[in-house]
């Protein structure tokens, strides 16, 4: 009779261990710039100055992308980096077949100015939400994204809350008013930056294929 409670406890312990493992998140460091966390089992692609980390949990895909500038880009004002973000976002929406934009704004994210947007699109019979956070710091464009079914518990805030920048970075690593070089349009200079957009489309395509199989 004692073996039944023992067996039950063993099964319960194994079940709890599986849940903890399934929900485990790993810390990732990108150069000497930033660290963040993603669900365990993420994949990494590294090509042509672009590094993409991607992870899936059930119906949710997280994509974190880092693109190094082909040449230094200088921002001397909030207005200039806001124009950069808007150009970036407009190109992203165009390459993603114009999903519905629910919200977009430039926000304070720690020491830095960031661009945050929420979008929505229909895939098969599913309605997906797409959350994006974009920052440009020290000649690198960083995007933290989440694509999931509407109303699903995506834990996007958990990803954003895990982002930690190198303590040596300051506001001048993003915007330096002493810079006299003229700011040029992002779209005019760097069409290659849309590798970031392509990465997002790949993520959406992944979900499309998975929904079709389901």
Could you tell me the pTM of the whole model?
0.79
pLDDT tens readout for residues 97-109: 888 999 999 999 9
Average pLDDT over residues 156-184: 87
Q: Looking at residue 175, what DSSP letter applies?
A: -
Q: What is the DSSP string of 61-101?
A: EEEEEEEE-SS-----SHHHHHHHHHHHHHHHHHHTT-PEE
Note the pLDDT of residue 146: 93
Taking the C-alpha atoms of residue 191 and residue 147, their distance in angstroms, rounded to an integer, is 24
Q: Which residue has the tokens 């980390």?
A: 53
- Could you tell me the pLDDT band of residue 13, with boundaries at 50, 70 and 90? very low
Which of 149 and 133 is assigned the larger pLDDT?
Answer: 133
Paired tokens of 79:
């207005």
Cβ pair 205, 147 in contact under 8 A: no
- Could you tell me the pLDDT band of residue 166, with boundaries at 50, 70 and 90? very high
Cβ pair 119, 130 in contact under 8 A: yes
Q: Looking at residue 77, what DSSP letter applies?
A: S
Taking the C-alpha atoms of residue 91 and residue 60, their distance in angstroms, rounded to an integer, is 24
Cβ pair 108, 193 in contact under 8 A: no
Cβ pair 177, 103 in contact under 8 A: no
Paired tokens of 36:
């963040």
Paired tokens of 142:
């960083």
The sign one gets for the Cα dihedral 63, 158, 156, 172 is negative
List, in order of start, the domains of the chain with CATH numbers.
27-213 (3.40.1000.10)
Note the pLDDT of residue 75: 92
Note the pLDDT of residue 179: 76
């Amino acid at each position: 009779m004692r073996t039944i409670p023992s067996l039950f406890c063993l099964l319960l312990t194994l079940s709890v261990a599986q849940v903890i493992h399934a929900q485990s998140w790993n810390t990732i460091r990108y150069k000497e710039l930033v660290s963040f966390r993603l669900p365990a089992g993420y994949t990494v692609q590294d090509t042509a100055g672009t590094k993409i980390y991607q992870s899936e949990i059930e119906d949710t895909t997280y994509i974190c992308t880092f693109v190094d500038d082909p040449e230094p880009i200088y921002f001397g004002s909030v207005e200039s980096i806001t124009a950069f973000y808007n150009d970036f976002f407009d190109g992203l929406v165009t390459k993603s077949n114009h999903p519905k934009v629910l919200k977009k704004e430039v926000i304070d994210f720690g020491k830095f100015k960031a661009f945050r947007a929420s979008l929505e699109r229909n895939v098969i019979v599913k309605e997906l939400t797409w959350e994006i956070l974009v920052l440009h710091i020290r000649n690198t464009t960083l995007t933290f994204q989440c694509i999931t079914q509407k109303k699903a518990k995506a834990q996007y805030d958990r990803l954003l809350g895990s982002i930690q920048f190198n303590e040596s970075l300051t506001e001048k690593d993003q915007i330096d008013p002493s810079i006299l070089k003229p700011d040029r349009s992002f779209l005019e200079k760097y069409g290659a930056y849309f590798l970031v957009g392509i990465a997002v489309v790949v993520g959406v395509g992944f979900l499309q294929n998975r929904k079709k199989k389901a």
